[in-house]
Amino acid sequence: AQKVTQTQTSISVMEKTTVTMDCVYETQDSSYFLFWYKQTASGEIVFLIRQDSYKKENATVGHYSLNFQKPKSSIGLIITATQIEDSAVYFCAMREGRSNYQLIWGSGTKLIIKP
């Protein structure tokens, strides 16, 4: 069965440091995409970054990057040089090739950036 698990409920770090949020997934498919979304305090949900299961290179967008460890079914989100405005809830999601474009979501990790 498909499943996405985020075990870290909440993380608190100092501003300007690097933080990693964990996500593990379960799938029977060899082809899938992994996504990270951010939900701000206002409730807005925005897409951040994605990883193709066939690509070995870790995706990077701005100060977001991924640590894709396929043998461990793990896709960590790394935020470098964190800023106060990075405080939010971060969701990991997966789409399998046979899922008709549906996303399977994790339960989210709340990130608190302290000044």
Partner 1 sequence: EAAVTQSPRNKVAVTGGKVTLSCNQTNNHNNMYWYRQDTGHGLRLIHYSYGAGSTEKGDIPDGYKASRPSQENFSLILELATPSQTSVYFCASGEQGGWDAEQFFGPGTRLTVL
User: Where along the sequence are the contacts to partner 1 (CB under 8 A)?
Assistant: 33, 35, 42-47, 50, 52, 91, 95, 97, 99-103, 105-108
Q: Closest CB to partner 1 among 18 and 60?
A: 60
Residue 39 CB, shortest distance to partner 1, in Å, is 8
d(Cα 4, Cα 67) in Å, to the nearest integer? 16
Strand runs labelled E in 1-115:
3-5, 10-14, 19-21, 24-26, 32-39, 45-52, 60-61, 64-69, 74-79, 88-96, 104-105, 109-114
- Tell me whether residue 33 or residue 64 sits nearer to partner 1 (CB atom): 33
- Gyration radius of the chain over CA positions: 14
Output the smallest distance, CB 3 to partner 1, in A: 11
What spatial distance separates the first Cα and last Cα of the chain, rounded to whole Å?
41
CB of 40 to partner 1, least distance (A): 11
Q: Rounded to the nearest whole angstrom, what is the least distance from the CB of residue 18 to partner 1 in the complex?
A: 24
9 or 85, CB closer to partner 1?
Answer: 9
Q: Is 114 helix (H, G, I), strand (E, B) or coil?
A: strand
* Closer residue to partner 1, CB minimum distance, 68 or 91: 91
